[in-house]
Structure 1
Amino acid sequence: MESHTKEFSNPDNLPSESLTLLVSDAGVVRNVNAIDPYWVDKKDLIFYERPPSGSERVFGAIDNWKSKMEPYLEYLQALLQMEHHRFWSTIIYHKQCMDTLISFLQEADPPYVPPHENPDVQKLYEEIRKHILIVFSRLVTNKESKSRWLTKEYMGEIMYERFIFTVPVLWDICLTYGCDNPRHVSRLLQTVFELQPQYRADVMHALAFVKEAFKYIILQVNKTYESEEPPNLPETFKGFGEIKRPTDSKTETISFRTLRDLVLHLLDTAMTLRLFVEVYPESVELFKKTHFVLSIVQLYEYGIPNLCTTLQAVGDKTSIQYTEVEGYIELARAELIDLFKEILAVYKNAIFSGEGNISTTVESYLSAMLEALSERLFVADYHACWPVTDDIDMLKQAYPDIDPVKTDFILQAIYSNIDEPVPEETIANTNPVPNGHVETIDNPGPSKDNEIPDNIKEESLISEVKDILPHLGDGFILKCLKHYGFNAERVINSVLEDTLADSLRALDRNLPIVPEDPLDNHFLETGVQRLNVFDGDEFDIMTRDDVDLTKIHVGKRRDKYKNVSQLLDDKSEVKSRIDIYSKYNLVCDDAAMYSDEYDDTYDSDGAEPPSATADPDEVRRPFVTPRALAQYNRREESDEESSEEEAPKAETSRNRMNFCTNPEELRARRAAAYRPRGHAPRPQQPSRDVIGKPKGQGQEKDVLANRDKKEKHKSSRANHNRRQGAQWKRSQGMMPS
């Protein structure tokens, strides 16, 4: 029978769970609830299937998959176009609706799987992936308009009782969309946990199950199948006795396929938990209550190394599958380290921002670090990736009352594991900043950021973006920064959410930085084309009007001095400073020196005015005998009185009163000492000038004669007589004949 409804009407703006609508069924008008099975279109739905790839790609497999998934996409679009009451009635009362949505989350490719090689398949997969996220986003939206809405209490109850959201569904959403849509997934999870707080208890049960799964992985790779004895593990591994091996595998060794399944399960779990902590930081308290950090450390210590050992034992190193599984193990190892980093990051962000009780948060951080110290391998690898000393220093500045005993114990334990001494500056007491805030200055000086060159700022911003997106090229990042006003956060957000501008989408994401050509900039400024590499320099008279002509020399350049003698004989520099030294010899006249206020108490009695013929130096500063020579002067005066008639000494005799000997006399004595006795001094060789004057000015006769003599006798020196030298070497037996 055909049924139809009247136009949707809700004049009182009642919630949909309390609203009734008038419907006409075969001419009978009756009231039907807005949320009722009456609005459900009862038809079988299609479940999502993973696209064929690799060995599964047989002839026609791609077309078959597309023929199934296109109706699946059309149903998602129709579901989103439904009215509010029809949408919720279908979600609640259709038995297959939630199953068909969850089927995509279960079969979707994780982030570490590369895209499909067929572009049509990948495009259809991305469309389905987008619509699934929109559907789950609508499921957490309680109010679409004033007349179409649900109360939060009813919505939270329906979500929990009808299993619309479960912890596995939330974790699958994190794994599927957490990498490229973290903010959207974060808002979705925040809304779910606010609508229904009972999910927090479910998360704790799920974490307990994950801990048992980790124990099972460790047991699989630590116990041999031939032995019935328990694995050689520490006593801290409680609960291993409850885990039993399959009965049909007691006498068989672990297979490569089983090992691959274990590695993939470990990788999916580690990546899911890391993304879950990243998008929902409040979950850290649940990890703390279940002591999940201890399970991470134990899995890293006793699971990862044995997985590698087992892979080498059962795998073929020449196969592609071996390399693939080996890469998955390394990726799982990195995800476990990043999971612990994200847990600590939540505590650090709360401490630095001052949210909540800082002392409690600091103690939670230290408790997590102490749990990580239970094994050596994990904390050593974590410290190599993210130094703990930096975190401890920042915590000391943000919270001065931090327990120094615990911090010192953590640092000493870490450095003892890596066999290195603890840095002294880390242990030394520092002056922390109170409450984690920087002291402000009333009159701050000019910012030093303006003094940093632009290229240094660009490199800093590029490195900041590459820390998050290392696969992008420097040139592509620089163009994105210029487009978004050098805002690194906007660039990262646009790339992750795939909302780049159209001009940036067309660029190659591996684009490097190409330095700008200064001559190209010169051409843009002046309009002069590039002719050679010297265009635009300081001597380019085509583009410059202030060329320094003193630096330009036409013709053959000649040095100012030919030899060292001419350089020493040149006194022009000394003569140019005569006027400077002459100022020290100026003497003021008596009128200028006289002053009524002059104190002549200590002037010598009976001092005579200077005579006109007196030495200016003596007038300016009378000679004063040093005290060291005063006694010698007295003896000299007494000798002069006793021998006034004695003849004066010759002027050439050496005076003992001289403080230094005349350099001219020293040079004469040194020359006489080195001169051979009975031989006259060697005459000085005349200078043989062969350079002469510049070309075009004519040459002197001596210069021409010197040039001719040099030309004639040049074979007697240097490297001009090779034949004679070669013959002499042969005669001495130094060369084979």
Structure 2
Amino acid sequence: MTPIIIEGFPNPDKKSLDQLVFRLSAEDGLAPRNIAALHRHWAKRETFTTYVGLMSQYGRAKTGLELEEWQHNANYFYKDINFLLNCRHHEFWSYMVFQKKALAAVVSFLQRATPFYLNVWSQLVQQQPIIDLYEQILAAVLRVICRLITSRESDESWLTIEHQRELIYKNYLISVPMLCDLVIAVGDADPQNTAVLSRIFDTLLRIEPNYKQDLLAALVFFRVAFRSIQTQAENEGFEGAGGGELDENAETPYDDVALYTLDCAYTLSVILDICPEVQQMCAEIKLGQSIAQFYDNTIPFLYKNIYLINEAATSLGWLNMARIQYLKAFRSIAYSYIEVVMTKPEDAITAAEKFIGLLTECLSEQIFVNDYGRIYPVELDVDILKQVCKKLDDFKASFIVQGYQPEVPTNLQKANHTKSNKKTQNVTKSNKKTKQVRSNCNTNVITNSTPTTTKEETAKRDIDLEVTAVLEVLPHLGMGFVRRVLSRYDNSEGAIAAILEENLPPDLVNADQNEIYIPPDPQDKTYAETGVKHYNIYDGDQYDIMTHDNPKCIIKQGKGMPNTPKDAAQLLDDKRDLAQIKSRYQAYTLVSECESSNDEYDDEYDDSYEALLASETRVVRSKQLKAGLANIEDFSDDDESDNDDDGEQQNAEDKSSKSDTQQTGRNNKQLNFCENPEDVRARYEARRQAKWSNRNHGGGGGGGGGGMDNKPRDVVGAPKGQGQDKETLRNRDKKEKNKSMRANHNRKAGASFKRSRGMIG
């Protein structure tokens, strides 16, 4: 594309731009002066229009008032670009070097240009003037870039290579980011576009070799981009993770990530296609291994997240396009070794080993290996290497071929690949932007004409394990549908790839993806093999819940038994047991009213002493056995006296006060099988009365065994200050000494006393 040159200031000596000086005539009273051809004086215009993008967001073209506004802005921008192209040679370079707004206008278009891979033009079918205007602007900007890399426009308008290198590189007139944006704006849909891009890269690398280092840094940045995409795919939607809130115009939270993935894929693929030197750089930094790892890990994960949110999302198509371009980029890197083998025989062995090493390192990425092997047959590349390199290790070569063996027969794959290439060559070039996407997709479409596996191969496979592997990646599918797909492929990886690419066989395209799977009944299999139906011996009995609606058994489900209380409160509130025994206790209310009967119930009978009788009898019998005597003293009285408040034994008056009836009962109780309860109660009552009488009236003074007296023990005495008698002082002293024997000071003795009487304390 030859830039437009307007002849002006003469250069009869045909000097270069750095040596050319123009003499200006006197104007406005100023004397004539000399000004260099490259000077700020020639860049008088200071205002240039900034380009506004044609897309709104996420691959959508502007409509309505926004589209009209874009058209208005684009017309002014196109006039400014034409102004730069119509400038004289020295004026053009003066604007580009000294007027930064002119360069900023060109950069604004490259940054906001419509990517060639997006199908935006189909949305503007009825807006042909808009499409024509955009293509004119793109062509004008491309002419500006071409004029920058052109050193000689005519015999009078030229500059040296050294001067051009200094102007372009030091003033950042063309940078690697600008080249990447230019690649996305122009693309490789048309062979002419590819030729122009290739010329630009070759010329820049020839003019300034330092661009190689800049390109190498840009290629290294792709690794950073891959990590960034993986991070956003894993943490999308969380604050601070790169996702944030969902945009109202986005179909899924991952649309921007998917579009960025596609942009990186096309940028890398086109640059590798148009610049062979970049292929060698990628091989040096091992970018091919990074592409394979990113392809195998991040893209399927991103695809699954988008599919679970929206099955019809546009970003799913972007990811499929990105997969094809990443495979194409890897192919460019790998094929660069084969080109070295064919062009440089002295380096053939080294290049062949590097090719095998690259494919060997990527064998762990199974999804990538399967897709790459289907599109680019590795066995063809290995055959080329074997023909040139006779010393190539056959074992390594066979290992690579086997590892990248496609899932379809080789002949069928070659036929499909050849057919797709022919189809690409026949695509018309009338609308290069729209048909570029279709061309690339048709070129590298992953065919899926997979024959059905035989029964013997299916028997050797663990179908259940493969179904589990597929459902881990695509959990929304039904097990029945997954089994049908696996029956058409050799392994789970092929089935997953076909489902993700929507490249299933025709009979499975419209199949129900939620189809369930009902496993066969083992009894049917046994019946088919033996002809005998086998049943369990308990089938059909009264406890069989499979054949009876109300079996005679308790069907236990979960914890506890049926109808049992759920908690402690319900258990305590259960009064059903009381209702069952209510009738039993009602019988005790029927008392006979016949007074002449000897069995009449005595309502005056007091059974409060029966427990005491039983305990007392047990204690008496144990002591009688120990003593071995027939007639013994009433040890109960002695024991009672041991626990008296005064701590002394009862005196003779206590013994003489007992009744004759008690004495007779005591003497005859050994002769009775069971002692008369009336005698026991009378004796106990007498002891109790004597005990409390002693406590209330006090005991006799002096030594042990003295008789009881009714004289109270006075410990209060006279009022303070009036003096106390000896008896009061003696009682106080005795109380002080013996107070620990009774009340709360001797609980252990009290507890022992209760237990000896059969009471529970």
The 1:263/1:343 distance shift into structure 2, 3 A limit, reads: same
Give the match for residue 99 of structure 1: 104
Q: Among residues 246, 257, 260, which one is paired with 2:240 in the alignment?
A: 246
Give the match for residue 292 of structure 1: 287
State yes or no: 1:359 paired with 2:366.
no
Q: Distance in 2 between matches of 1:69 and 1:311?
A: 35
Give the match for residue 311 of structure 1: 306
State yes or no: 1:407 paired with 2:418.
no
| Counterpart residue type for residue 346 of structure 1 | S
Q: Secondary structure at the match of 1:22?
A: strand
Q: Distance in 2 between matches of 1:495 and 1:353?
A: 37
The 1:6/1:84 distance shift into structure 2, 3 A limit, reads: closer
The 1:495/1:260 distance shift into structure 2, 3 A limit, reads: closer
Give the match for residue 75 of structure 2: 70
Shift of 1:393: 0.8
Give the match for residue 131 of structure 1: 140
Q: Among residues 283, 287, 297, which one is paired with 1:302 in the alignment?
A: 297
Q: Deviations over 1:319-373 (max 9, x none)?
A: xxx4311101111111111111122233333433448833343333233323332
Shift of 1:191: 0.4
Q: Secondary structure at the match of 2:313?
A: helix
Q: Distance in 2 between matches of 1:376 and 1:178?
A: 30
Q: Deviations over 1:696-736 (max 9, x none)?
A: xxxxxxxxxxxxxxxxxxxxxxxxxxxxxxxxxxxxxxxxx
Shift of 1:15: 1.4
Q: Return 5+ residue gaps in structure 2 as ranges.
A: 1-5, 435-761
Q: Distance in 1 between matches of 2:231 and 2:94?
A: 47
Give the match for residue 242 of structure 1: none
Give the match for residue 269 of structure 2: 274
Give the match for residue 542 of structure 1: none
The 1:67/1:125 distance shift into structure 2, 3 A limit, reads: same
Q: Distance in 1 between matches of 2:209 and 2:401?
A: 38
| Counterpart residue type for residue 186 of structure 2 | Y
Give the match for residue 344 of structure 1: 334
Q: Distance in 1 between matches of 2:51 and 2:247?
A: 35
Q: Is the 8 A contact 1:412 1:422 kept in 2?
A: no
Q: Distance in 2 between matches of 1:78 and 1:110?
A: 25
Q: Is the 8 A contact 2:307 2:313 kept in 1?
A: no
Give the match for residue 260 of structure 1: 255
1:46-57 equivalences under 5 Å are: 46-51=49-54, 57=62
Q: Distance in 1 between matches of 2:261 and 2:14?
A: 50
Give the match for residue 197 of structure 2: 185
Q: Is the 8 A contact 2:51 2:108 kept in 1?
A: yes
Q: Identity rate of aligned residues, in percent? A: 27
The 1:61/1:295 distance shift into structure 2, 3 A limit, reads: same
Q: Distance in 2 between matches of 1:225 and 1:59?
A: 31
Q: Secondary structure at the match of 1:17?
A: coil
Shift of 1:464: 8.8
Q: Deviations over 1:207-243 (max 9, x none)?
A: 22220110121233346989xxxxxxxxxxxxxxxxx
1:494-643 equivalences under 5 Å are: none
1:387-426 equivalences under 5 Å are: 387-415=377-405
Q: Is the 8 A contact 1:347 1:362 kept in 2?
A: yes
Using structure 1 for the length normalisation, give the TM-score: 0.51
| Counterpart residue type for residue 336 of structure 1 | Y
Q: Distance in 1 between matches of 2:134 and 2:340?
A: 39
Q: Distance in 2 between matches of 1:162 and 1:258?
A: 40
The 1:8/1:340 distance shift into structure 2, 3 A limit, reads: same
| Counterpart residue type for residue 163 of structure 1 | Y
| Counterpart residue type for residue 144 of structure 2 | V
| Counterpart residue type for residue 343 of structure 1 | I
Shift of 1:471: 4.0
Give the match for residue 13 of structure 1: 14
Q: Secondary structure at the match of 1:357?
A: helix
Q: Among residues 216, 229, 235, which one is paired with 2:228 in the alignment?
A: 216
| Counterpart residue type for residue 269 of structure 2 | R
The 1:21/1:250 distance shift into structure 2, 3 A limit, reads: closer
Give the match for residue 466 of structure 1: 422
The 1:17/1:367 distance shift into structure 2, 3 A limit, reads: farther
Q: Secondary structure at the match of 1:300?
A: helix
The 1:149/1:464 distance shift into structure 2, 3 A limit, reads: farther
Q: Return 5+ residue gaps in structure 1 as ranges.
A: 227-244, 424-458, 473-491, 499-737
- Larger deviation, residues 94-103 vs 250-259: 250-259
Give the match for residue 180 of structure 2: 171
Q: Distance in 2 between matches of 1:187 and 1:248?
A: 37
Q: Deviations over 1:174-222 (max 9, x none)?
A: 2222312111110111001111111111112212222011012123334
State yes or no: 1:37 paired with 2:27.
no
Give the match for residue 24 of structure 2: 23
| Counterpart residue type for residue 271 of structure 1 | Y
Shift of 1:283: 0.5
The structure showing larger relative contact order (alpha-carbon pairs under 8 Å, at least 6 residues apart) is: 2
Shift of 1:56: 7.4
Q: Secondary structure at the match of 1:147?
A: coil
Q: Is the 8 A contact 1:225 1:253 kept in 2?
A: no
Give the match for residue 158 of structure 1: 167
Shift of 1:41: 2.4
Q: Distance in 1 between matches of 2:335 and 2:278?
A: 13
Aligned residues: 413
1:201-240 equivalences under 5 Å are: 201-222=213-234
Q: Secondary structure at the match of 2:351?
A: helix
Q: Distance in 2 between matches of 1:252 and 1:464?
A: 39
- Larger deviation, residues 396-405 vs 304-313: 396-405
Q: Is the 8 A contact 1:178 1:279 kept in 2?
A: no
Give the match for residue 335 of structure 1: 325
Q: Distance in 1 between matches of 2:258 and 2:244?
A: 21
Q: Among residues 196, 199, 217, which one is paired with 2:211 in the alignment?
A: 199
| Counterpart residue type for residue 33 of structure 2 | R
Q: Secondary structure at the match of 2:15?
A: coil
Shift of 1:108: 1.4
The 1:75/1:212 distance shift into structure 2, 3 A limit, reads: same
| Counterpart residue type for residue 293 of structure 1 | G
| Counterpart residue type for residue 388 of structure 1 | V
| Counterpart residue type for residue 20 of structure 1 | V
The 1:74/1:375 distance shift into structure 2, 3 A limit, reads: same
Q: Secondary structure at the match of 1:400?
A: coil
Q: Is the 8 A contact 2:110 2:178 kept in 1?
A: yes
Q: Is the 8 A contact 2:18 2:159 kept in 1?
A: yes
- Larger deviation, residues 363-372 vs 278-287: 363-372
Q: Distance in 1 between matches of 2:327 and 2:133?
A: 35
Q: Deviations over 1:293-314 (max 9, x none)?
A: 111011111111101111123x
Q: Is the 8 A contact 1:263 1:325 kept in 2?
A: yes
Q: Deviations over 1:406-429 (max 9, x none)?
A: 3233223334xx789999xxxxxx
Q: Is the 8 A contact 1:52 1:62 kept in 2?
A: no
| Counterpart residue type for residue 49 of structure 1 | V
